[in-house]
Structure 1
Amino acid sequence: MSSSQDIVLLLTHSGDYFTVDKVAQALSKRGASPFRLDTDLFPLEVQLSARLSNSGLKHQIRYGDRSISTEQVKAVWMRRLWEPKMNPQMEPHLQSGSIRESRAALDGFLDSLHKLRWVDALPRIREAENKLLQLRIAAEVGLTIPQTLVTNDPTEARQFFQELEGSMAAKLLTPLSYSMGKSSLFMYTSAVQEQDLAEAETLRYCPMVFQEKIPKLCELRVIYVAGELFVGALEASRYDGKTLDWRNISPEDCPWESHQITEEIFGQLNSLMTRLGLTYGAIDLIQKPNGEYIFLEVNPTGEWGMLERDLNLPISDAIAKALLN
């Protein structure tokens, strides 16, 4: 248990709900004091002050009716960092400058907490988000990965399509949406048709990921928290043929179900997360009709609320325990 004076900083944004509330409740039950920081409201509604001298430094943040200093913080949950909201009446050049300076000030505040317990530290998250790194390490620890091509060469994409006999999917290496809504560049994982390759010349402007389409019995979202795994499954027959990406279906059409993975896969995923240096990760797998598991990717800050909501999995408590460990 923690001291009632221990503050755990929850980095998120003002549009976030459920998951951040559940973790805050779990921390309170364990005797800690959660402090929610909606990063999109800095600087308009959040005040930050930093005092530095040769004798040390002290940061203070005020948000609403609460104020904390860096000395009070025990741990940090990196849920989300968000684009600062600015007054739309500001001139564009002043707005961009204010956003840049606000980011720099917030980065300085977060750096002052670098010695604390993070789930997970920003440099570790940014490194682990590299999808090619994930696939390489996954193969090294024994997980099966899809045949994959990352290219901006239209000829290579067409050749790969032929090698896979047309059974190919496309997705992005990174999310291109950083605002509250999806950007025009946001895309779900989608099947590639032969006619799509007629426009493959646009790859010269932006490389993409191409993978073999894996036959599915179910898709799995596996939540890893400090060596514990929480697993939810979606039965592919409920949506296969309509979409390749479960994020594009409604929970009513395809509810989450409980699933038990094998001890071998458990060990391999644990090795993967240890190699990536992550305390938390949302892992996507496919189980083929023959029972084989295929690793797709890890999202170091991926969603898990639907699994706690629908399957009553105690993920928020596991995160709270990891923060206070």
Structure 2
Amino acid sequence: MIVVVSYEGEDHSDAVCACLQRAGRELLRIDLADFPVRNRIALRWRDGAAPQYLLEIAGREVDLAAARVVWWRRVRGFDVDPAILRGQHRAFASSETGQAVHGMLDALGCAWMNPRLADEAAHHKPLQWTLAQQVGLQVPATLVTTRAEEAQRFVAEQGLGQVVFKAFLASIEEWRETRLVTAEDLGRLDLLRLAPVIFQRYIPGVDLRITIVGRRLFTTEIDARHTSYPVDMRMVVGEGRAAAAQLPADIEAKLLALQDRLGLRYGAVDMRRTDDGQYLFLEVNPAGQWLFAERLSGLPITQAVADHLCELDGPAAGP
């Protein structure tokens, strides 16, 4: 059984689930927002018997102990019963639900894409940059700081107009594009005391979105250099020239080594290729999107994700 931890309407998991269903795979989709109210659980440990991880979903009871692979893909928070009104009581109910549900999932002795705790850690960019350097990837000069004087010094060293600043996580509610630091921004550096900010040397070049599925790499190059916003290709995906591309073998090997160090089976990597042929690592998103890259390049990424899950699941059950 393949367990997909995501939610209806998440278009990437929707597309892969459709592939898995066509392949005749036993599939269970779990939305964490359905806990604790809509999805009920009963976890049992008894002498001489294997643990049971029973879920009741839409009137169907399933023992998660039968799972052979779990795909951890963009999840939502727990939805606490609205009858619980007080904030501290809601927080307690959510915490208790997390202890039970996450503990149940972590106890499953099956393959994961990606392991939940590895996925969580791999979202942290300081860890990514450190490990990327250790495996031999080149990282642009980068500063994370809450100190105005450090940011001022970094911009002076790199040159005004040669530094970008960006957020650690771009959520739907608080989405921010990557921006060049301007003279006006330098007058607001005292605001750094409120939260850390990433400053990074701006690297002109062609964007590379590298989708890694198991040991396979699918590279889409997007040339946004002559678009209306070359600083952040996400803003102008439809304007730039895009095509499938091939990475040098040594870069592929280093990216796979990084995935191994992070404990990931899936990752969406962003890099820049300069005009003189340098490859610079920007980040890896363990839950990154690929449908736009697939549409632009024609690379069969959705099918590759489904195929990898099937490989981890093992032979399909007979009729």
How many angstroms apart in 1 are the aligned matches of 2:240 and 2:9? 25
State the Cα deviation string for residues 247-294 of structure 1 (Å, max 9, x = none).
233x43346421222222222212222222221111000111223211
Task: Name the % identity.
Answer: 30
Compared CA separation, residues 66 and 189, structure 1 to 2 (3 A): farther
Shift of 1:238: 4.3
| Structure 2 residue runs without a partner (length 5+) | 313-319
Compared CA separation, residues 85 and 107, structure 1 to 2 (3 A): same
Q: Could you tell me which residue of structure 2 aligns to residue 97 of structure 1? A: 92
How many angstroms apart in 2 are the aligned matches of 1:308 and 1:65? 37
Alignment of 1:292-303 (within 5 A): 292-303=278-289
Shift of 1:204: 1.8
Q: The residue matched to 1:48 in structure 2 has which SS?
A: strand
Aligned to 1:38, which of 28, 31, 35? 31
Shift of 1:101: 2.6
Q: Could you tell me which residue of structure 2 aligns to residue 51 of structure 1? A: 44
Does 2:211 match 1:223?
Answer: yes
Aligned to 2:201, which of 197, 208, 212? 212
How many angstroms apart in 2 are the aligned matches of 1:64 and 1:226? 32
How many angstroms apart in 2 are the aligned matches of 1:256 and 1:199? 36
| Number of equivalent positions | 308
How many angstroms apart in 1 are the aligned matches of 2:79 and 2:238? 34
How many angstroms apart in 2 are the aligned matches of 1:41 and 1:252? 36
Aligned to 1:79, which of 65, 73, 83? 73
**RMSD in angstroms over aligned alpha carbons?**
2.2
Aligned to 2:184, which of 195, 199, 211? 195
Q: The residue matched to 1:196 in structure 2 has which SS?
A: helix
How many angstroms apart in 2 are the aligned matches of 1:157 and 1:66? 56
State the Cα deviation string for residues 38-64 of structure 1 (Å, max 9, x = none).
222223332222223344421111222
Q: Residue type matched to 1:41 in 2?
A: D
Q: The residue matched to 1:96 in structure 2 has which SS?
A: helix
State the Cα deviation string for residues 224-257 of structure 1 (Å, max 9, x = none).
1111100112111343x525222233x4334642
Q: Could you tell me which residue of structure 2 aligns to residue 3 of structure 1? A: none
TM-score, with normalisation over the residues of structure 1?
A: 0.86
How many angstroms apart in 1 are the aligned matches of 2:86 and 2:284? 36
How many angstroms apart in 1 are the aligned matches of 2:46 and 2:231? 55
Q: Residue type matched to 2:233 in 1?
A: W
Does 2:269 match 1:283?
Answer: yes
| Aligned partners of 1:27 and 1:317 also within 8 Å | no
State the Cα deviation string for residues 1-20 of structure 1 (Å, max 9, x = none).
xxxxxx10001123412x21
Aligned to 2:121, which of 117, 123, 127? 127
Alignment of 1:134-213 (within 5 A): 134-166=128-160, 167-173=162-168, 175=169, 177=171, 181-183=172-174, 186-213=175-202
| Structure 1 residue runs without a partner (length 5+) | 1-6
How many angstroms apart in 2 are the aligned matches of 1:215 and 1:255? 15
